[in-house]
Structure 1
C-alpha cells in the first residue's frame, strides 16, 4: 500500500474498528502454481477478527510488541485460490502456508470533484479529481483447515460459521430477529461444511490509510465537506471523516 505520512494511520484500535465494520475483505495471494511461478489470486471473503489474544508479546520473542489479532474465514474448496493454499500448506508445520498473504479492507469512500475546491479552483484552476477513501491491509501467513485435517477442521468450521453469522446478523442488518445457523437443517449444514475449508491468519503487520483531503488547505477542505454534504448519506459519512481528519491535522 502506498502510504504518505499525512494519510497513514497507526492506531491499532482504529485499524481493528474498520476491519470489524467492513467485515468483507479481499484475500490476496501470490502462490506458486503448476509451473512453479507465482500466480496472483484474490477472493472476497467475510472475516471474523479475534483480538482476544496476548496483547503484549504476540510472537513470543519477549519484545513486548502489541498483538494485531487473528483473522478467520472460510472459502469454497472449488475456489482455485483455496486449492492453491491447500497445495502449499505444510502438514508438518500445522498446515501453515509459508508465503505472506494480504487481506484488504476498504471502508467509506467518495469521488472528489475539482468543483469542491472552492479556494484553489477559482484562484489558479490547478486542481484535478481525486478519490477519498479509508482502507486497512492486514499481512500474515495463512493456516489452512482442510477436510483432510480432522477433527480440527470440523471444530474450526463449527465455531467460525456460528461466530461469522452472529456477527453479520447483528452488525449488517436492522432486523429484530437474527438468523442462526441452527435455523437450517443440521444435515444441510453438514453437507455444505464438506464443501468448504477454513483459513486463519495471525496478523503480523497492519497498514492503515485514511485519504481524506488532509493534503488540502483549510479552505478547500471546507469546500470538500460542503460538497459531500450535498451528496446524500454516503457523502455525509465521508464529509464527517474529512472534518475529523482535518481537525486532527490542525492540532
Structure 2
C-alpha cells in the first residue's frame, strides 16, 4: 500500500479500531500450485484479538476467520500445509480492510485551486488498513483442536456481528442476538466439517485515511461542502471524515510551530 505521510495513519491503536469497525477483509495468498492460481483472494469477516499496539512488537495480535473448505483458496492452503507437514503456511498472507464509505472527488469541489489555476484533477477518497502475517490453518477435522477453534471462532464472530453490526443487544427495547446454540447441534457440526479455520499472527500493519488532507484549507472546505450537498449517507460521512482529518492535520502542524 502506498502510504504518503500526509495520508498515513501512524497509530496502530487507530488501525485496530478501524479493523474492528470494518471486519470484512480480503485475504490474499501466494501459494505455488499445479492446480490452482498462484494468487488467490477471498472476502472473510475477521475477529481481532489485540495483544499490543506497540508497532515494534514482533506479533501485535491475531485475526481469526474461517472459510468454506470447497473454496479453491482453502484447497491450496490445505495442500501447502499437507506438503510441508505443518499447519502453518510458509508464505506470508496479506489481509486488506477498506471502509464502507468511499467516494469519487470531482475537481469542482476545489473552490480555491480550480478558480485560481485550474491545476486540479479528480481523485478518490477512502480509508484502508493492510495486515501482513503468518497463517495457521485448522483443517484436520479429525483432531479436537480444529473443532475447538471453529466452535470458538463461529461463536465469537456471530456474537460480534449480532451485537456490534446489527445492534441486537437485548437492551433498551432492542432484540436479543442470534446465538449459535439456536441452531441444531448436529447441523453446526456438519457446517464445521465443511469449514477450515484461519488464524493470522499480525506481524505488520499499515493504513491510511485519504481524505483530502493534502489540500489547502479552502479546497478542503469546498470538498466538505460538496459532499454535504450530495444529500446521501455516504456524502455526509465522507464530509465528516474530511473535516476530522483536516483538523488533525492542522493540529499537528500547529504543534510543530
Q: TM-score, normalised by structure 1?
A: 0.91
The aligned residue for residue 105 of structure 1 is 97
* Alpha-carbon offset, residue 56 of structure 1: 8.6
* Equivalent residues of 1:119, 1:219 under 8 A apart: yes
* Equivalent residues of 2:58, 2:203 under 8 A apart: no
**Which structure's residues are more often strand, by fraction?**
1
Alignment of 1:112-151 (within 5 A): 112-148=105-141, 150-151=143-144
C-alpha distance in structure 2 between counterparts of 1:149 and 1:86, whole Å: 14
C-alpha distance in structure 2 between counterparts of 1:149 and 1:192, whole Å: 14
CA distance 1:21–1:56, shift in 2 (3 Å): closer
Alignment of 1:157-196 (within 5 A): 157-175=150-168, 176-196=175-195
Deviates more, 1:174-183 or 1:156-165: 174-183
Q: In structure 2, the residue corresponding to 1:5 is in which secondary structure?
A: coil
* Equivalent residues of 1:104, 1:138 under 8 A apart: yes
* RMSD over equivalenced CA pairs, Å: 2.1
C-alpha distance in structure 2 between counterparts of 1:65 and 1:134, whole Å: 24
* Equivalent residues of 1:90, 1:96 under 8 A apart: no
* Equivalent residues of 2:13, 2:53 under 8 A apart: no
The aligned residue for residue 82 of structure 1 is 74
CA distance 1:163–1:127, shift in 2 (3 Å): same
C-alpha distance in structure 1 between counterparts of 2:89 and 2:33, whole Å: 14
* Equivalent residues of 1:134, 1:210 under 8 A apart: yes
CA distance 1:221–1:105, shift in 2 (3 Å): same
CA distance 1:180–1:67, shift in 2 (3 Å): same
The aligned residue for residue 34 of structure 1 is 34
C-alpha distance in structure 1 between counterparts of 2:219 and 2:97, whole Å: 28
* Alpha-carbon offset, residue 164 of structure 1: 0.2
* Equivalent residues of 1:113, 1:129 under 8 A apart: yes
The aligned residue for residue 172 of structure 2 is none
Residues 164-213 of structure 1 show CA distances to partners (whole Å, capped at 9, x for unaligned) of: 00000011114422111111111111111110000000000001111110
Unaligned runs of 5+ residues in structure 2 are 169-174, 252-257
Unaligned runs of 5+ residues in structure 1 are 59-63
* Alpha-carbon offset, residue 33 of structure 1: 1.1
Residues 40-89 of structure 1 show CA distances to partners (whole Å, capped at 9, x for unaligned) of: 100000000011x3x3999xxxxx63752100100001000001111112
Structure 1 moving runs of 4+ over 3 Å: 55-58, 90-94
CA distance 1:5–1:129, shift in 2 (3 Å): same
The aligned residue for residue 212 of structure 1 is 211
The aligned residue for residue 61 of structure 1 is none
* Equivalent residues of 1:50, 1:70 under 8 A apart: yes
